Structures are given as structure tokens and as C-alpha cells.
Amino acid sequence: MSRMKRKQFLWLLPLVIFMGLAVVLWTRLGVDPKIVPQATTDQILPTFNLLNLTNGQLQTNASLPTKPFILNVWGSWCPTCAIEQPFLLKMQQQGVVLVGVNYKDQPADAVAYLTQRGNPFVLNLQDSTGDLGIDLGVTGAPESFVIDQDHRIRMHILGEINDEVWRTQLKPCLDRLIYKGAGQCV
Amino acid sequence: MRITPAALLLAMMSGLLSFGVNASSPTQAAEADLTFESSAQETQYRTLIDEFRCPKCQNANLAGSDAPIAQDLKHKTYELVKEGQSNDQIRQYMITRYGDFISYKPPIKSSTWLLWFAPPLTLFLALMVWFLRVRRRTITTAPLSSEETWRLNQLLNDESQPSAKQELRDDR
């Protein structure tokens, strides 16, 4: 009798499995599925030969600072870059070294943007084709990298830099690199 | 037609799968007039932009994405194909910059064994279970004894007697 009863409900099993799957998949829709590409993290900075945005001179990896710094990929066309710009200026005032990668931009627009809003960068590389961007593994702008004194990438941040990102990610990484020598941040 | 649990499950799974495939199938974006030296190069280019995933969009391939980075990576793929690089070289180029994430065809390595081998293994196990059950069922169907054969014949021959049929039904 009980076996008969069990057989009767067996056909419901696929339905139950299906509903379970549906619930799992449905609830996953609420979770941010963003995956941050980290392939270039802990790799040496790619080599480049790019013009300096402000003075037109050719720059190579040798032109980069020899202490830990932040590499910021930006463009005058990028709305989120304009949002984080005041924070970059604040970081610069606090002594953080910032190098800009002017990504897929018109040089004239970029220079006008910096003149108007202030320039937080010690050096700005003019990556008009976006090739350095691809070598860095960027997916758009703004994106930022923490680079150590040996020019190795130690952190890759996608999107806006703000007080929270600074407090929870960038500052701990920079402190580690500056006060403890080189080392991994992630 | 009888609907068995297995058939129902199969239908649902295939429904889910085809939905998944549709969601990631390429919708060829309009491309600026690209020129290729040979149709083989064009095929190589199409294959690769179908296989590579747009790093910005999470679930679209390069072919189906209009995101700026997807355009750039398509152009980069085009350049590398024109340079005469092999599929593996171009794949390696992308993976060193964007990781395994960039490819919809993940490499076989220890961290992806589960991904690659779980489905065939599950299928194999299911077939084993099915096979064993079918075999067991066949074995339990023992041949009729002489007494049972005699009774069966009697029931079959004596069709005019409704009570006999009734008895057969009850015995089932």
C-alpha cells in the first residue's frame, strides 16, 4: 500500500527538482554576478611607448615613479571619471602619487578637462588607441591599479574610487607596500 | 503516450538548456568593412569572436556585444588574425590579459575538472543505475511453473466466463 502511494507521487519528483532549480536561479538574479578580471594582478606592468599628454614627450616604463603609486585609467568622455575626480585631487593633496592613463581620448579634450577640473597626476600617458588598456586588462573607465616600487601590479579596481574604496582597499594596499616593502595585496 | 518521470525531467532539462544557449547565442553585430586575405582567416576571426566573452558585459560574447571594450577586442582579434597568428596564440594573448574569464571554452585543468567531467560522469552513473535496474527486473521475472501455465491456459481458453477474467484482473 505504502509502496503504491510512493509510486503515485514519483511523477512529481521532476517537478519538485525543477521548482528547486527555478528558485535557486531566480534568487541568484538578485546577486551581483560581476567578476573582476584579475589576470594582470601580480604581473609586471606591461611595457609601453606613449606620449606624455601635457608635454608631448615620449614616455616609457622608465618614466614611472620609483615608489608605490596609483595608476588611474580615465577619459574626458567618461562620466564616472568626472565623479571620482575630486577624490583623486584629495588623494594627491594627501601625498598619494597618481599616474594617469588617458584612455581612448582626444588630447585636446583631455587637456581642457584637466585645466578645468585640476590635475591630480604627476604624469599622464596618452593611450589614444587603448592598447595599453588592453595590456592592463581594463574593461572600461575608470579603473585603477596599485603599482608597487618594482612596477608590479598589486591591485585592480573597477569603477569609481571613493572614500570607502580608499579606506577598505587602496590605503591598506599602499600602506603594505610602503611600510613593509613589496608584497601581495589580494 | 505515457509520461514517465524521466521523460518529463528530460523535457524540462532540454528546455532549460536551449534557453541558456539562446541567451548566449551570437547576434552578429554590424561590423565595419573588414577585409581578409582568405576565407580561412575570416572563419578564424568569426570563430574566435564567437568564443571570446566580452569582459564588460558578463554574459555576451564579443560578436554579440557593442560595448566599447568588445569593439576594441574584436579589432585586436582582427589584427592578430591578419598577422597570421594561430587560434592558440590569440587565445593565449587574451587569457594573459583577461584570464580564463575571457573564453567561453574554459581550458581543462585541475580547477575545471568538475566543470568538464561532471556531466558525462553523471550521465554514465545514470546509465549504470538504469542498466542495473533493468537487468534486475528481468531476472526477477521467473518462468511460470507447470501449475501456473496450466491455469493461464485455462483462463485464456475459457473466455466466455466473465468470472475468470475478473480473477485475472484481481491477481495482477
Are A74 and A3 members of one domain? no
Q: B55, A14: Cβ pair inside 8 Å?
A: no
In a domain, A44, yes or no: no
What residues of B are in contact with residue A136 (Cβ under 8 Å)? 97
Say if residue A148's pLDDT is above 60.
yes
In a domain, A8, yes or no: yes
Higher pLDDT, A127 or B105: A127
Containing structural domain, residue A70: 49-180
In a domain, A90, yes or no: yes
Q: Distance between the two ends of chain B, CA-based, in angstroms?
A: 22
What residues of B are in contact with residue A78 (Cβ under 8 Å)? none
Are A98 and A162 members of one domain? yes
Are A26 and A89 members of one domain? no
Hey, which residues does A72 pair with through a beta bridge?
A100, A144
* Backbone conformation region of residue A146, classed left if phi is above 0, alpha if psi is from -120 to 50, else beta: beta
Are A173 and A96 members of one domain? yes
Residue B56 C-alpha, separation from nearest chain A C-alpha, in angstroms: 5
Interface test with B, best of A35, A134, A186 (most B CBs within 10 A): A134
Are A65 and A153 members of one domain? yes
Do residues B49 and B62 touch, judged by C-beta distance below 8 A?
Answer: yes
pLDDT band (50, 70, 90) for residue A124: very high
Are A22 and A92 members of one domain? no
Mean pLDDT score, B15-29: 45
- In single-letter form, the type of residue at position B43 comes to T
Q: What is the CATH number of the domain that holds A58?
A: 3.40.30.10
Percent over 70 (pLDDT), chain A = 92
Count of the separate structural domains present in chain A:
2
Are A24 and A53 members of one domain? no
Nearest to A184 by CA among A161, A158, A160, A150: A150
Say if residue A153's pLDDT is above 80.
yes
Say if residue B11's pLDDT is above 70.
no
Nearest to A157 by CA among A181, A178, A173, A176: A173
